[in-house]
Amino acid sequence: MKAVIQRVSRASVTVDGKIISKIESGLLILLGIEDADANADIEWLSRKIVNLRIFNDADGVMNKSLLEIDGNAIIVSQFTLHASTKKGNRPSYIKAAKPDVAIPLYENFIRKIEKDLNKKVGTGIFGADMKVDLLNDGPVTIIIDTKNKE
C-alpha cells in the first residue's frame, strides 16, 4: 500500500461537476493498493498517518499530528501510485490491485482512519473521474509505502 500524504490548508474532490468532499486544514491522502496488500497494511498505515508529526506547534515547529490538531482528511484511491515506468514511455499498472481486491481494502482503510480520528473523513469515488483541488500547506508532501515499514 502506498500513500501520498499532503498537508493542506484546503482540499476538495469533485465528480461530475459536484463537490463530494471538502475540508479545511488537514491531510489529503492519495492511496494506492496492490494485490499483496492486506489488513495489516491498513492498521500500520492508518496509525502512521494519524500520528505523523507534520503540523506546526505554537513555535512553528512540525511537532503535532493530525490527531492532536483535530484535523480533517480526504482519502482518494489512486491506482497510478503503483505505476511502473521501467520500460518505454507508457506506465504499466500491473501491480495495482483490481477493483475486487482494492475496493474492500480502500473501504476498510477509510473506516480505520475514521475510527482512529473519531470522525468522518472525506473520500473520492472509487474508479470515478475525479478532480482534486488542494492548497498544499508548506508545502509538505510525504510518501509512505507499507512495503518499507521494517
Structure pTM? 0.95
Active site residue 80: yes
- The pLDDT confidence band at residue 149, using thresholds 50, 70 and 90, is confident
pLDDT tens-digit series, residues 113-141? 999 999 999 999 999 999 999 999 999 99
Average pLDDT of the chain is: 96
Q: Is 138 left (phi over 0), alpha (psi -120 to 50) or beta?
A: left
pLDDT tens-digit series, residues 18-46? 999 999 999 999 999 999 999 999 999 99
**Is 2-148 a CATH 3.50.80.10 domain?**
yes
Give the active site residue among 80, 85, 123, 146. Answer: 80
